[in-house]
Amino acid sequence: MSDQEAALLLTDRRDLRCPFAPAAELSAARDTADDLPTVQVVAGPDFTSEALAITRYADARQVLGDQRFRVGVAFDPDQPRPQASQPSFLLNQPGFLLNHNGPEHARLRRMLTGAFSVKRVQQLGPQIEQIVAGQLDELAEAGPVADLVADFALAVPSQVICALLGVPYAERAEFQKRTEDILEGRGSTPQAVDAVTDFHAYVAGIVAARRADPGESLLGSLVREHGHELSDAELIGMSILLLVAGHETTSNVIALGTLALLQEPEQLALVRDDDGVTDTGVEELLRLLSVASTVPREAVEDVTVGEHRVKAGQRVVVSLLAANWDPHLIGDASALDVRRGPVPHMTFGYGVHQCLGQQLARLELRIALPALLRRFPGLRLAVPETDLRFRVNSPVYALRALPITW
Amino acid sequence: MNVITDEKRCVGSGQCVLAAPYIFHQRDSDGIVVLLQDTPPESQLAKAREAAILCPSAAIRIQGSPAP
């Protein structure tokens, strides 16, 4: 193992020979280690911290379901919020739900949950189908060869998020590049700091525009219904969360999921040809890929996790990747089985902070993946698999590009 | 079979509505679970149990039918 690989956070470290599997040392930490391993967590340019790695499925559910573990590896609600010119300010941004705990978190989240209910999300179906069809046309024109990441996987969720925020799609470049810069190196690079500052100003502009003219978007409804009880800073924090969480994650499941299916032609054919496999196939890819693996928490008081004692004030990082591949969850976790029965995987987290947009992500994937495979029945990689490059040192696992032909 | 939901635990993920739409619904305002029937027919048992397994906040319990 090179120094660079060793420096990657254990909780989202993957096997270099199989781009989706947990690294051997991560699986070993889960299956054989007596103690919870200590890891170094980087959460911005001015913040590193020690944390215990939680890798077993049962422990992961316990930690994320237990209010004695709070969010906030770098956020302290008792401290004044840093100014926008300071690099770590995103971590103290009000309204960014992952910075809030307890009743304050519940107050803010409940303003958004109605908009992401199954019913409301399903109403977006026709619009998403239209976006996917349009993007497939563009992909067909761009290639072959084309880059599935840039020409399809990023474009579809970006357009959906633009619609939710009431932003013209022409502005997507404004946030796509910046989101990428923020995620690169876990927000610790100079580019990430600049990107955060730019991004904040950009989103503040969107919020001001919706305050002036709410319109029909999700953000517009939020302003209409709850605008009087939300500060601009809180609306900015919520919008940043929707933007960052809403497109990098889903886009990487589209791209990595396509790669996973290309590696298993029989599984790919099932997703392409059988509508009955769409839902189970998407769940299986979500589990297998676990694109946003590492979830930080901090113990408010002494807690026993499994047979381990976690002391008050101690930090933990949960590996959703290790949990989703735990043999105690499913025996053949390494197998891609698109017809697998219901599995309570943890890809969207667990407990009060679980992904708000999970039904939207599911719907986008259920529409985009079969449509892609049906439009290009001869879809295949345009380069040897060994040439593919992955973004590994990031909160969201990603393919740098996925050159395809058909 | 008796279905019990815990509104305080529910965080509105909607997994129950996808698994068993005849038993569960989400409140329009905040997505919190609404029970459409608390004693659904036995024919719905498998779907009710699936909803309980998949609920990501452990807010659903099934009483009165032993696990298979």
State the nearest Cα–Cα gap between B60 and chain A, in angstroms: 13
For the beta sheet containing A69-70, the strands, ordered from the edge strand earlier in sequence to the opposite edge, are A38-42, A48-54, A315-319, A294-299, A69-70
Question: What is the interface pTM, i.e. ipTM, of the complex?
Answer: 0.89
User: Which of the pair, B13 or A179, is modelled with greater confidence?
Assistant: B13
CATH assignment at residue A264: 1.10.630.10
Write the residue in B27, B30, B54 that is nearest to A342 by C-beta.
B54
Query: What are the chain A neighbours of B12 within 8 Å (beta carbons)?
Result: 110, 113-114, 116-117
Judged by CB atoms closer than 8 Å, whether chains meet at B56 and A116 is answered as no
Q: What angle do the packed helices A265-273 and A358-375 form, to 10 degrees?
A: 100
Amino acid at A376: F
How distant is the alpha carbon of residue B66 from its chain centre?
A: 16
Distance CA A175, CA A35 (A): 41
Query: What local confidence, expressed as pLDDT, does residue B2 receive?
Result: 93
| Distance separating alpha carbons of residues A38 and B28, to the nearest angstrom | 43
pLDDT of A25 strictly over 60: yes
Q: Would residue A3 count as lying in a domain?
A: no
Q: What is the pTM of this model?
A: 0.91
Query: Which residues from B are below 8 Å from A when comparing CB atoms?
Result: 11-14, 17-19, 26-32, 50, 53-54, 56-58
Tell me how far apart the alpha carbons of residues A199 and A347 are, in angstroms, rounded to a whole number.
27
Please tell me which of the candidates B31, B53, B58 has its beta carbon nearest to residue A117: B31
Residue A84 clears pLDDT 50, i.e. is over it: no
* All domains of chain B in start order, with CATH: 2-62 (3.30.70.20)
- Each residue of A147-205: pLDDT tens digit? 999 999 999 998 898 888 888 777 777 777 777 776 665 555 666 667 777 778 888 99
How far is A355 from A382, CA to CA, in rounded Å? 34
Q: How far is B50 from chain A (nearest CA, A)?
A: 7
Contact yes or no for B32 and A113 at CB 8 A: yes
Total tally of structural domains belonging to chain A:
1
pLDDT score of A96: 87
Comparing alpha-carbon positions, the chain A residue that sits nearest to B11 is A352
Phi/psi-derived region of residue A323, left when phi > 0, alpha when psi is between -120 and 50, beta in every other case = alpha
- Rounded to whole angstroms, the Cα distance separating A289 from A253 reads 7
Question: Which among B11, B18, B23, B57 is the top mutation candidate for probing chain A, defined by the most A β-carbons within 10 Å of its own β-carbon?
Answer: B11
A42 found inside a domain: yes
**pLDDT (tens digit, 9 = 90+) per residue, A195-241?**
777 778 888 999 999 999 998 888 999 999 999 999 998 999 899 88
For A312-347, the pLDDT digits (tens) are 999 999 999 999 999 999 999 999 999 999 999 999
At which residue do the structure tokens 């807010």 appear? B59
**Which positions in chain A touch B29 (Cβ < 8 Å)?**
114
Mutation to test the B interface, candidates A359, A360, A365, most B Cβ within 10 Å: A359
Q: Is the pLDDT of residue A8 over 80?
A: no
Beta-carbon contacts of residue A388 (< 8 Å; ≥ 6 apart): A19, A259, A381, A399, A400, A401, A402
Residue A45: pLDDT band by 50, 70, 90 thresholds?
low
Give the structural domain span for A189: 10-396
Cβ-Cβ contacts under 8 Å between A and B: the total is: 63
Residue A72 has pLDDT above 50, yes or no: yes
Residue A1 maps to a domain: no
**A85 pLDDT higher than 60:** no
